[in-house]
Amino acid sequence: MSSQYRRSSTLAEARDQYFADNDFGPEGGYNDPWVDFKFGPIPFPFPNTAGRVRAVRYHDLHHVLTGYATDLQGEIEIAAWEIGAGCKGFLAAWQLNLSSMGFGLCFSPRRAFRAFVRGRRSHSLYGLELQELLGRQVGDVADELGVAEQPQAHWTDAPVFLVASLVGLVLGGAMFLVFVPILPFALLGLNAKRRLSAEQA
């Protein structure tokens, strides 16, 4: 667990700090129509669907509990961790995380594998009652999930990681092809939103 968040803080308090630290706004961007994901310096917006919002409410708490960052490397790591820990019935989480793992296989395989192994020894929050979780202390939830130091990898982890990453590579490529035609319109919308925010500031 990241020392950035006090064990005695509630998850709601830690999440508010996480939103502020990453400039996500007080609502974390949950109500925005588009998500502005940056592939390195390149913006790659995609629709902020209801399924994605449902999943990201837990995803953000996983960032708090695991300590993974929100840059490209950190998103690859948290994706691998979540796949290892399991996303249960959250289809959007499976799709987005597998796609990120596919990119991780190309750009950061060692760190992605370490996060995947850590996830395989942990439990995720997906499917638990969200409002109850937000009132609980960070340390207690982290202990229950088994979020701890990096565990030792077992020989069975590598083939599972490789299969999941290859599936993600195919899935991510397909998603990229689907979203490329609407990318210019998404960028125009995001730029308009930024100008409006700047004018209101």
In angstroms, the CA 186 to CA 36 distance is 9
Which among 85, 87, 98 has a CA at the least distance from the CA of 127? 87
37-46, 53-62, 170-179, range with greatest mean pLDDT:
53-62
- Range scoring the smallest mean pLDDT among 82-91, 168-177, 182-191: 182-191
pLDDT of residue 129: 98
Residue 201 pLDDT > 70: no
pTM for the model: 0.87
pLDDT of residue 183: 57
Segment 86-103 shows an average pLDDT of 96
Owner of token pair 């995947």: 116
Residue 61 pLDDT > 80: yes
Segment 125-135 shows an average pLDDT of 97
* Confidence at 141, pLDDT banded by 50, 70, 90: very high
Q: Enumerate residues 6+ apart whose C-beta is below 8 A from 139.
A: 1, 7, 8
111 vs 190, more confident:
111
Outline where 11-71 has alpha helix (H): 11-21, 50-66
Quick: pLDDT tens for 148-173. 788 999 999 999 999 999 999 999 88
In angstroms, the CA 71 to CA 134 distance is 24
Q: Are 93 and 55 in contact (CB under 8 A)?
A: yes
Residue 189 pLDDT > 60: no
29 vs 10, more confident:
10
